[in-house]
């Protein structure tokens, strides 16, 4: 499904509006507790489910003839086959950060076409930031305010771009809550690396805006955790591959991505 520039711009605007509405829903539930544990051991809150309802209902109203796979829905029932084109939703990425009262949680919506994330929107409600991108048409960042009692406000978008890897002391993004031994060993092998711990999909956004260089994740994660960030990174000029340099595969039966390496500098494919 080639992305028509006009249609994709309209779609990214619509998804941005849905992310802001989801941010408002999360704000309504913040601090109200109600944490449960899913079958995979991960936490879920009423805020996750409220944000998901806003997004899935909104996508349905857009009339898109594209399957939507969302994290909490997938936890309740097995998703239908993804197909050639599908939308991946993580309504509250970084639930552990959200529960802990930290600011590093996001709302993620990504469109996958032909196995490649082509369009992505990530909103960080507590930071008041949105990152979005369309592959082949660039990436940008916006400031926003999702107030409960006032209409949301949004700044003009500012273009963002990844940076060439510096000749020394690259900035490596690490997960605040999911740093495994294999990823730790990879980072230890990067001479002079400066580490920046971060939660949720904000890690991709830091690469896309040129404030970091490498984000390794050598442990499994789900498609919906990374699709939006992958699209934004590609749109900003970056690259993301499997550890052996092969493409990332989306839409598998279990919707699992075993591992990946994300780079701001597209020339770098160190495995």
Pairing relationship of beta strands 194-198 and 171-175 according to DSSP bridges? parallel
pTM: 0.93
CA–CA dist 214, 147 (Å, integer):
34
- Give 18's Cβ-side CA count (13 Å radius): 31
Q: Lowest mean pLDDT of 90-94, 96-100, 232-236, name the range.
A: 96-100
Give the pLDDT confidence score for residue 215 in this predicted structure: 96
What's the pLDDT tens digit per position in 174-233? 988 778 889 999 998 888 899 999 989 999 999 999 999 999 999 999 999 999 999 999
In words, the CATH class of domain 5-160 is alpha beta
Residue with the larger pLDDT of the pair 25 and 82: 25
Give the pLDDT confidence score for residue 1 in this predicted structure: 45
Decide whether 5-160 matches 171-263 in CATH topology: no
Element (H, E) at 227: helix 223-235
Give the pLDDT confidence score for residue 238 in this predicted structure: 97
CA–CA dist 153, 217 (Å, integer):
34
CA–CA dist 271, 268 (Å, integer):
9
Measured CA angle at 210 (ends 207, 213), to 5 deg: 55
CA–CA dist 239, 267 (Å, integer):
8
Residue with the larger pLDDT of the pair 263 and 43: 263
What's the pLDDT tens digit per position in 128-166? 999 999 999 999 999 998 665 556 788 999 999 999 999
CA–CA dist 123, 130 (Å, integer):
4
CA–CA dist 24, 184 (Å, integer):
36
What average pLDDT does the chain have? 89
Would you say domain 171-263 falls under CATH 2.60.120.370?
A: no
Residue ranges covered by each domain of the chain: 5-160, 171-263
């Amino acid at each position: 499904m080639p992305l028509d520039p006009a249609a994709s711009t309209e779609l990214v605007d619509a998804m941005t509006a849905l992310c802001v509405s989801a941010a408002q829903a999360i704000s309504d539930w913040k601090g109200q507790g109600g944490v449960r544990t899913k079958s995979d051991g991960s936490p879920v809150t009423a805020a996750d489910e409220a944000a998901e309802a806003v997004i899935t209902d909104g996508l349905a109203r857009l009339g898109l003839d594209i399957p939507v796979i969302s994290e909490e829905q997938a936890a309740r029932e097995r998703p239908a086959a993804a197909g050639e084109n599908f939308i991946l939703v993580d309504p509250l990425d970084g639930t552990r950060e959200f529960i802990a009262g930290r600011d590093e949680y996001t709302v993620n919506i990504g469109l996958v076409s032909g196995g490649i994330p082509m369009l992505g929107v990530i909103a960080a409600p507590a930071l008041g930031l949105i990152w979005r991108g369309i592959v082949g048409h660039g990436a940008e960042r916006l400031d926003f305010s999702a107030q409960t009692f006032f209409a949301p406000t949004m700044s003009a978008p500012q273009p963002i771009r990844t940076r060439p890897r510096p000749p020394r002391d690259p900035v490596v993004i690490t997960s605040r809550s999911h740093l495994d031994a294999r990823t730790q060993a990879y980072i230890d092998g990067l001479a002079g690396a400066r580490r920046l711990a971060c939660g949720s999909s904000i890690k991709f956004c830091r690469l896309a805006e040129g404030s970091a260089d490498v984000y390794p994740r050598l442990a499994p994660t789900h498609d919906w955790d990374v699709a939006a960030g992958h699209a934004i990174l590609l749109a900003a000029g970056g690259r993301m591959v499997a550890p052996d340099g092969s493409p990332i595969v989306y839409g598998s039966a279990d919707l699992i991505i075993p591992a990946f390496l994300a780079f701001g500098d597209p020339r770098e494919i160190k495995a």
